[in-house]
């Protein structure tokens, strides 16, 4: 049975005290209002990670993650954070390949394959992001783009390693724009991803893989999106910065 996950991506927002205050609200509301078996994950800036892990102790369905990690174990990479460092503070997840990392920092599928290997070596759960731009969708290239991101980024893993991943489909044209893929559009891609996983590994691996939708997901559209058979939750951007909105999305799985 694959996990239902709502993961918040705070991006480059919130100073230290603001982050702690928001997370305290989130875990208290989760405790009081989440009645299902769903998992909430908050991926914060690095400065918050240790403190958020401490606050989350005792909440087995609340996880903490980083938004990136370097592919090298250690070295002369000023300003970077290693997977070992992320794990050492107790975080369990790391976002890899977010469209903003691909766009603004030039991260390639090949680089992300290395980052994935390093994250898995340190027992982190990668939330591996894939998705197409508006130009690629309008050119009817979206299936080819998604397949290449899977093949070049994570299909080098064996079935056991792959089973430790979470995948997030993010239509780049719907991130931060207020535009959301329709539930049919999102389901179509999620089903395609699961079909490609089954073809590469087997149907059981595909059925066990959690695939999240990330693209302007909010409390209003989450119920329709999460009702789709191949959508197992969301990677939430702006709405994760508001405790009420984030928990209302989490509660869709109650």
**What's the CA gap between 217 and 232, in Å, rounded?**
13
Q: Which of 156, 218, 147 is nearest to 181 (CA)?
A: 218
- C-alpha dist (Å) from residue 48 to 17, 20, 23, 79, 89: 9, 7, 10, 16, 10
The tokens describing 110, both together, are 């090949």
The enclosing H or E element of 232 equals none
Q: Say which of 98, 100, 136, 142 is annotated catalytic.
A: 98
Q: What angle do CA 3, 249, 236 make, to 5 degrees?
A: 80
CB 69 within 8 A of CB 118: yes
Burial pattern 79-108, b for ≥16 Cβ within 10 A else e, equals eebbbbbbbebebbbbbbbbbbbbeeeebe
Q: How many CB atoms within 10 Å of residue 50? A: 14
Give yes or no: 170 in active site.
yes
The tokens describing 95, both together, are 């976002």
Task: Number of helices (H) and strands (E) in the chain: give both, helices first.
Answer: 12, 8
DSSP conformational letter for 253: G
Give yes or no: 142 in active site.
no
CB 62 within 8 A of CB 56: yes
* Catalytic machinery residues: 98, 170
């Amino acid at each position: 049975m694959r996990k239902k996950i709502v993961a918040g991506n705070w991006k480059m927002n919130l100073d230290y005290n603001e982050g702690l205050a928001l997370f305290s609200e989130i875990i208290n509301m989760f405790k009081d209002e989440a009645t299902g078996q769903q998992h909430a994950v908050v991926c914060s800036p690095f400065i918050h990670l240790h403190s958020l892990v401490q606050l989350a102790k005792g909440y087995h369905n609340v996880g903490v993650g980083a938004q990136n990690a370097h592919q090298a174990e250690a070295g002369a990479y000023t300003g970077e954070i290693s997977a070992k460092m992320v794990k050492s503070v107790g975080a369990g997840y790391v976002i890899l390949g977010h469209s903003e990392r691909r766009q603004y920092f030039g991260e390639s599928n090949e680089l992300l394959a290395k980052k994935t290997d390093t994250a898995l070596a340190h027992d982190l759960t990668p939330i591996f992001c894939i998705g197409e731009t508006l130009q690629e969708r309008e050119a009817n290239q979206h299936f080819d783009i998604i397949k290449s991101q899977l093949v070049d980024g994570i299909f080098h893993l064996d079935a056991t390693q792959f089973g430790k991943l979470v995948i997030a489909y993010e239509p780049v044209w719907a991130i931060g724009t207020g535009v959301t893929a329709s539930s049919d559009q999102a389901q179509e891609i999620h089903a395609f991803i699961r079909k490609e996983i089954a073809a590469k590994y087997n149907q059981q691996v595909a059925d066990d893989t959690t695939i999240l939708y990330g693209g302007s997901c909010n409390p209003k559209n989450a119920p329709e999106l999460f009702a789709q058979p191949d959508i197992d939750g969301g990677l939430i951007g702006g709405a994760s910065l508001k405790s009420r909105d984030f928990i209302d999305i989490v509660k869709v799985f109650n």
